[in-house]
């Protein structure tokens, strides 16, 4: 029997741990910290964006960096802290468990292709590929480029460093995204 959310909350709320973040070289913050209180479970899972009116389905191709018959690649609306952050999504509204088999077969090669396109920008140490799906129900894959030779930014905290680093100068951000789009268009 899995633990219910109520059981988990009852067990965990009085026993939260503070991990040794001061020893973690990749942790972006300094100073005294404590975990936030664990809020009790809500009665039902909150619906994700797109369950009713999906902004991804409504967005025109002009809003995207690159498209083909079945897939589209977008960027956040304003400069990011990391050199490149882009999102790959199927045209059709589906999630990972409802992605049609034909699209699923294309996904592996496409993840490789987009990863290579992001890396082609240059000065990229690693491209993280993530599927977080709590915000929007329309399947989307994050590609987050970690700058080269900054070992403090390695690993999953890169997603937090994206908000800690100041936004890229607009011209560099646009140039980087154009390089990604160019690499995808040419291959
Ligand atoms: Zn959608």
Count the alpha carbons within 13 Å of 136 in the hemisphere toward its beta carbon. Answer: 17
pTM metric for this prediction: 0.93
- Report the separation in Å between the CA atom of 59 and the middle of ligand 1, taken as the mean of its atom positions: 9
Average pLDDT over residues 52-71: 95
Tokens found for residue 132: 């977080």
Q: Which pLDDT score, from 0 to 100, does residue 24 have?
A: 95
Average pLDDT over residues 45-68: 91
pLDDT band, residue 25 (cuts 50/70/90): very high
- Report the separation in Å between the CA atom of 113 and the middle of ligand 1, taken as the mean of its atom positions: 23
Yes or no: say if 40 and 14 are a contact pair by the CB < 8 Å rule: no
Q: Which pLDDT score, from 0 to 100, does residue 187 have?
A: 76
Q: What is the DSSP string of 79-92?
A: --SSS-EEEEEESS
Yes or no: say if 81 and 166 are a contact pair by the CB < 8 Å rule: yes
Q: Which pLDDT score, from 0 to 100, does residue 143 have?
A: 98
pLDDT band, residue 83 (cuts 50/70/90): very high
- Report the separation in Å between the CA atom of 92 and the middle of ligand 1, taken as the mean of its atom positions: 6
Residue where the block lists tokens 């995207």: 64
Q: Which pLDDT score, from 0 to 100, does residue 10 have?
A: 97
- Report the separation in Å between the CA atom of 97 and the middle of ligand 1, taken as the mean of its atom positions: 14
- Report the separation in Å between the CA atom of 152 and the middle of ligand 1, taken as the mean of its atom positions: 36
- Report the separation in Å between the CA atom of 166 and the middle of ligand 1, taken as the mean of its atom positions: 31
- Report the separation in Å between the CA atom of 53 and the middle of ligand 1, taken as the mean of its atom positions: 8
């Amino acid at each position: 029997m899995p633990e219910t959310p109520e059981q988990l909350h009852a067990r965990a709320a009085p026993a939260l741990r503070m991990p040794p973040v001061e020893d973690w070289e990749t942790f972006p913050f300094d100073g005294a910290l404590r975990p936030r209180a664990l809020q009790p479970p809500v009665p039902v899972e909150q619906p994700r964006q797109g369950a009713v009116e999906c902004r991804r389905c409504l967005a025109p191709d002009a809003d995207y960096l690159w498209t083909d018959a079945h897939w589209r690649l977008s960027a956040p609306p304003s400069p990011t802290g990391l050199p490149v952050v882009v999102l790959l999504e199927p045209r059709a509204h589906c999630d990972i468990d409802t992605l049609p088999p034909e699209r699923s077969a294309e996904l592996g090669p496409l993840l490789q292709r987009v990863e290579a396109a992001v890396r082609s920008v240059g000065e990229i140490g690693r491209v993280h590929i993530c599927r977080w799906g709590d915000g929007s129900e329309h399947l989307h894959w994050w590609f987050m480029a970690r700058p080269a030779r900054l070992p403090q930014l390695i690993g999953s905290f890169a997603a937090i460093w994206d908000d800690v680093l100041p936004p890229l100068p607009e011209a560099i951000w646009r140039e980087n995204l154009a390089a990604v789009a160019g690499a995808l268009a040419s291959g």
